[in-house]
Structure 1
Amino acid sequence: MTSLPLTIRHELPADAAAIERLHERAFGPGRFARTAFRLREGAAPAADLTFASHVGTFLVGSVRVTPVSAGGSPALMLGPLTVDPAFEGRGIGAALMNRSIDAAREAGHDLIMLIGDAPYYARFGFKPIRPGQLVLPGPADPARFLALELVEGVLAQRSGAVMPLRAG
């Protein structure tokens, strides 16, 4: 069996349709009602922090990061992180996460948030946000609302609403 190399690069406009199909397979139509989706709706992902992974020419994973406001200060909302089910368990999600986190750190961002599985994201340094400290625009399990401080102590300085930053 031939081993095809995994490549990770910035998401390109030409990737959009394949990424949408990947999201549809992974999350189904219910994704549109989720709070995390509502934060991203109408907002463009940060092109310098958003990556796609390929095996050969086949798109196998994607991570998007969207600028938001957290308590009136700039922050990032990571997600969705998606890996094609046929390629799960091969480290693609971790590689995408590390690439995006490194890019955010290099670009000078100080806080990344997400709604996700705490045991999975803990290995990247994400920790639960204290309930009520930051308020999402819809329901979410407080144990799944996580943050990664890229600057130590920045989370303690943030409180209030998490709001989408809409283009235009």
Structure 2
Amino acid sequence: MNDLSFTISPEAAGDAQAIERLHERTFGPGRFVLSAYRIREHVDHLLDISFTARIGTLLVGSVRQMPILIGDTPALMLGPLTVEPPFRGRGVGRLLMERALKDAKEKGHAIVLLVGDEPYYSRVGFKSVPKGRITMPGPVDAARVLVFELVDGAFEGVSGVVGPDWSKARG
């Protein structure tokens, strides 16, 4: 297949339905019982640091970030990150992540957490959270909880329960 030109843009409010359909196709109905989804139930993602990938007008990928707390420490949760299956392996996910992390840092955020495959996410700098440092709601494989420091040393001494940042909860 020929090289494709992707456009990475901030998510717009009008993208919500297309992104939800993408999540439905790629993650299925079981996604709602996952720990990360449980945290997302009450707090919206931040549009200014969430992004879409398109080829022309076709949505082929999305990444979202939402405000969370780790104990009392503000942080972001990255995800879901998803790419339409025919476009995987072309760097779309990596471009979405890099843009999301870059813009989050520019906006003053210090820590990003996610639940995912360490071999994939370590390529952009995510690291395993040391065992016992944090607790997430619901079942989660502790080896899949990863952190990225947007500011060197920001995760040092951070521990506690991960939950939504209720100061940003939907009214």
Q: Answer yes or no: same fold by TM over 0.5.
A: yes
Structure-to-structure mapping, 1:84-95, within 5 angstroms: 84-95=84-95
Q: CA deviation at 1:48?
A: 1.2
Instruction: Work out the percentage of aligned pairs sharing the same amino acid.
Output: 52
Amino acid across the alignment from 1:123: R
Separation in 2, partners of 1:167, 1:108? 22
The more displaced of 41-50 and 59-68 is 41-50
Amino acid across the alignment from 2:55: V
Per the normalisation by structure 1, the TM-score is: 0.96
Query: Where does residue 113 of structure 2 map in the other structure?
Result: 113
After superposition, give the CA deviation of every residue in 1:18-51 in whole Å (9 maximum; x if it has no partner): 1111101110000000000011112110111100
Q: CA deviation at 1:155?
A: 1.3
The size of the alignment, in residue pairs, is: 168
Separation in 2, partners of 1:5, 1:57? 12
Q: CA deviation at 1:3?
A: 5.8
After superposition, give the CA deviation of every residue in 1:79-109 in whole Å (9 maximum; x if it has no partner): 0000000111111000000000000111111
Separation in 2, partners of 1:162, 1:63? 20
Question: Retained in 1: the 8 A contact 2:13–2:47?
Answer: no
Q: Which consecutive segments of 4 or more residues in structure 1 shift more than 2 A?
A: 1-5, 165-168
Q: CA deviation at 1:142?
A: 0.9
> What is the DSSP-based 3-state SS (H/G/I as helix, E as strand, rest coil) of the residue aligned with 1:97?
helix
Q: CA deviation at 1:154?
A: 1.8
Query: Where does residue 41 of structure 1 map in the other structure?
Result: 41
Separation in 2, partners of 1:116, 1:20? 19
Question: Retained in 1: the 8 A contact 2:49–2:64?
Answer: yes
- Runs of 5+ consecutive residues of structure 2 not aligned to the other structure: none
Per the normalisation by structure 2, the TM-score is: 0.94
Query: Where does residue 53 of structure 1 map in the other structure?
Result: 53
Cα RMSD (Å): 1.3
Q: CA deviation at 1:17?
A: 0.9
Q: CA deviation at 1:130?
A: 1.1
Match of 1:167 among 158, 167, 170: 170
After superposition, give the CA deviation of every residue in 1:51-93 in whole Å (9 maximum; x if it has no partner): 0010011000000000001111110000000000011111100
Structure-to-structure mapping, 1:2-151, within 5 angstroms: 4-151=4-151
